[in-house]
Amino acid sequence: MIELTGTQKRFLRGLGQALPVTVRIGKAGLTVAVAAQIADLLSRRELVKLGLPAGPAARREALARQVAEAARSALAELKGRTVLLYRPNEAIDAPRRIALPEKGAP
């Protein structure tokens, strides 16, 4: 899993505010089909917003970490039932790529 600094997470959360939820994970949890869909989205975009099923906060947090690990991405935010995942992709055109703040930048 990719590690992000607090500044980078805050930057990504700002970008994620305008994004719609593109994938909803159901009661069955992370299935092979859902994992493939998330991987496909992350190959076309670097930032994806997901919806989680209702349940205890600890279960949602575990599911969010499982999804991030399966997608080889960073968990930028987990707020309620919404997850924001980030995975850099060098193959995306430069104007569409997300330029993260430098590590250690204020």
Confidence at residue 13, expressed as pLDDT on a 0 to 100 scale: 95
CATH of 6-87, one of 3.30.110.60, 3.30.1330.120, 1.10.357.10, 2.60.40.150: 3.30.110.60
CA distance 79 to 45: 21
Number of H-type helices and E-type strands within the chain: 3, 4
Considering only the C-alpha atoms of the chain, give the largest distance between any 2 of them, rounded to a whole number of Å.
Answer: 41
pLDDT above 80 (res 106): no
Confidence at residue 54, expressed as pLDDT on a 0 to 100 scale: 92
The structure's pTM equals 0.90
Instruction: Count CB neighbours of 12 within 10 A.
Output: 21
Angle value at C-alpha 72, between 69 and 77, nearest 5 degrees: 65
Write out pLDDT tens, residues 2-47.
789 999 999 999 999 999 999 999 988 899 999 999 999 999 999 9
Q: Bridge-partner residues for 85, per DSSP?
A: 48, 75
Both tokens assigned to 80? 């309620």
Using alpha carbons, list the distances in angstroms from residue 13 to 2, 63, 74: 16, 19, 12
Confidence at residue 1, expressed as pLDDT on a 0 to 100 scale: 66
